[in-house]
Amino acid sequence: MNQNDIEVRITADGSTTLYRKDIEETYHSHNGALQEARHVFIQEGLCKKLDLTEIKILEVGLGTGLNALLTYLFTLDNGLTIEYHGLEAFPLDTEILNQVNYNQIIPDSRTTEAFKLLHSHAWNEKFQWAPNFEMLKIHNALQTFECKKECYDLIYFDAFGPRAQEEMWDFSNLEKLHQGLKPKGILVTYCAKGSFKRNLKALGFELENVPGPPGKREMTRAIK
């Protein structure tokens, strides 16, 4: 990926996203990057696993780190212990990351330092983002990622949409994620495409009807 093909855009809630010209796709919804991340991954994902005090999360598509950042802030305020693996095939340059405005749009004084630490730490090396939050950024593609069986409680599936990256949504990748979830584990994503949901059902997932974030009628929450 050529970093020159990326431009910063402001979404409807005032938060920034990135637009990849080569695949004509944004990293987040133009209706609100922050709103979408909070709704799909925190409210309809993480908050559904609060019966656990220790939660292991895999994010497919770390991108700007917005989902990880929101998870981190939520964890600090709710007494959880998190192990978070963020999978990313195309890490972003610091120059681009410095242009996102999460420190301005998220009303939390911890945001700036947390975001800096997340992106300054080396790839493929675990670090303690907080005493109760272990982070690992994995520089790899889903297709070649070795996902351990029954490893994760929760998966944030935040790949680019099927139109732009059809290969990310194929059956073999979804099967890998299904195997990687513990029993009763949850996969959440903004996507609600029919063929995608049929593949999830074929793998044995139980699907729940969940309203989508602003601008989207529905999203997907799948339980193993």
The CATH number assigned to the domain holding 118 equals: 3.40.50.150
Residue 26 domain-assigned (yes or no): no
The answer on pLDDT for 99 being more than 90 is yes
CA 41 to chain centre: 7
Percent of the chain with pLDDT over 70: 100
Confidence of residue 1 (pLDDT cuts 50, 70, 90): confident
User: 80 CB contacts (<8 Å, ≥6 apart)?
Assistant: 50, 53, 54, 55, 74, 132
Quote the pLDDT of residue 193: 95
Residue 171 domain-assigned (yes or no): yes
Quote the pLDDT of residue 124: 98
| 3-7, 98-102, 153-157: segment of lowest average pLDDT | 3-7
Residue 49 domain-assigned (yes or no): yes
- Residue-wise pLDDT tens digits, 34-43: 999 999 999 9
The answer on pLDDT for 77 being more than 80 is yes
Residue 190 domain-assigned (yes or no): yes
- Residue-wise pLDDT tens digits, 110-140: 999 999 999 999 999 999 999 999 999 999 9
Number of domains into which the chain is organized: 1
Q: Which domain does 42 fall in, by range?
A: 31-223
Distance CA 99, CA 94 (A): 9
Residue 11 domain-assigned (yes or no): no
Quote the pLDDT of residue 2: 76
Residue 40 domain-assigned (yes or no): yes
Question: Looking at residue 180, what DSSP letter applies?
Answer: H
Residue 163 domain-assigned (yes or no): yes
Distance CA 97, CA 102 (A): 10
The answer on pLDDT for 66 being more than 90 is yes
Q: Give the alpha-carbon dihedral of 113, 114, 115, 116, to 10 degrees.
A: 50
Q: What residue ranges in the chain does DSSP mark as E strands?
A: 6-10, 16-20, 25-26, 54-60, 81-88, 127-130, 133-139, 152-157, 181-189, 206-211, 218-223
Residue 196 domain-assigned (yes or no): yes
Structure tokens at 202: 């074929």
